[in-house]
Every structure is written in structure tokens, then in C-alpha cells.
Amino acid sequence: MGLGDDIKSVFQDVGTAITIVRNSGHISGEYIDYTLNTQITKPFIREHFLEASLSHDTNAIAGDVLEFNVTEGDYLLMNKTPEMFENEVITYESVLYKCNITSGTLLRPSGEVRDDQYHKQTQWGLINDGVYALQTEALYGTDLLTDEEVGRLGIENDELYVPSSVGVAVLDRWEPVSGEFYMVMAIKSRRYEAVDICIVEEDTR
């Protein structure tokens, strides 16, 4: 048994039980060790961002949703960086973003029809539902993981962190809760391996 197995055993004793949430079937039985960043003073960042260690043989991949079994919090796995010892992976270090949306719906324009007054109305096709995501007011002039002063807050535009597997596209309609609509204005797909950052604003179509 190697060092990675030893650390995995410690996670099982003192770590946090998680379930990997996937449409193809949830995966349970894994444990992680996470820490709060005590250097951060902004309440939002302290609440929504964790640093975590996963076992060397974890099934989790970037873009997965990890559910904490006891506290029932849901987190996006933003990355996996291997920690090596004697040329072997002993853990994966990662950053987790807490989901404040757990049942979002993604819709896509599928054409137009005219109502009784001959006004054009957009038709919508369902792309995905039950989507986990983090949506927040856009922060400019700073990175969400630093403790620098925020330059200014975006009032109209929000940032949406969503797994790339959801399949979001520009001009899609995002519905985080029933009856609240946003239009996807732009997508940043290269900042993270398997998580897209979408710029969204109120959708009046």
C-alpha cells in the first residue's frame, strides 16, 4: 500500500463524505478534506469558495458537482491538480465553487410564431434542466479568489459558472428559478478546463 492509499484512509477517518452528482448516475463512497481560506475577508468568497484535497484514485473530474452528504452543500469542482511524491500521485488539490442554483433550466430559441395580435413571439426548446451553477454579480478589476479591493460591481450583468457539459451557447435563455429569465451574452470557455463562465443579463425576449 502506497502513500496515496494511506492518505485516502485518513480522508475516510477524518474527511467529509461526498457524492459525485452525474446525470448518468451518482457515485458515492468518496471522502475529501477541505479548508477555509482564513486570509479572505469578503463574506461572499468565504462562503462560496473552498480549497480541497481528493484521494489519488478519485472518480471526480473537473466540471463535476460534489454534494457534501452531511451539510448537503453542492460544489462545482473547478480543477484537479495532482500532488506528486516519488513520481506517484498521492492526492489531487482542487478549488470548489459553491452552487447557489441547483435546478436551473437552459432554453434555446427554436423559431418564432405570431400571437393573435400578430406580434412575434420566440419559441423555446429545452436544452437542459436540473442544472447546478453559481450565479453572482460580475466583479471587475479583481479575481474572485483574491482579497483585493473590488474596482466596481456590474449592476445589470451577472456571471454564471456552469459545467461545460451543460452545453450552454450564446443567446440561450437561462432560468435559474421559475419565472426569472437571463440571456447568455458571452461565454468564457478557456479559463477553466470544464466549467464555462457566462455573462448573462435580464432577458426580455
**What separation in angstroms does the CA of 76 have from each of 79, 118, 138, 140?**
9, 44, 18, 22
52-70 average pLDDT score: 96
Q: What is the pTM of this model?
A: 0.85
Lookup: cell for 160 = 454564471
pLDDT greater than 70 at residue 156? no
28-44 average pLDDT score: 81
Q: Measured in whole angstroms, how far is the alpha carbon of residue 98 from the centre of its chain? A: 7
Sorting pLDDT into bands at 50, 70 and 90, what band is 39?
low
- The reply to whether 101-202 shares the fold of 3-98 is yes
pLDDT greater than 90 at residue 155? no
| 158 close to 136: Cβ distance less than 8 angstroms | yes
Torsion of CA 14, 24, 64, 73, to 10 degrees: -60
| 159 close to 197: Cβ distance less than 8 angstroms | yes
> Tens of pLDDT along 158-175?
999 999 999 999 999 999
Q: Which sequence spans correspond to the domains of the chain?
A: 3-98, 101-202
pLDDT greater than 80 at residue 16? yes
Return the CATH number of 3-98, one of 3.40.91, 3.30.450, 2.40.10, 3.10.20: 2.40.10
> Tens of pLDDT along 84-143?
999 999 999 999 999 999 999 999 998 777 777 767 788 999 999 999 999 998 754 444
**Domain spanning 101-202 has what CATH number?**
2.40.10.370
Q: What is the DSSP letter of 46?
A: H
Kindly report the number of other CB atoms within 10 A of residue 149's CB atom: 8
Instruction: Kindly tell me the sign of the dihedral angle through the C-alpha atoms of 33, 74, 204, 122.
Output: positive
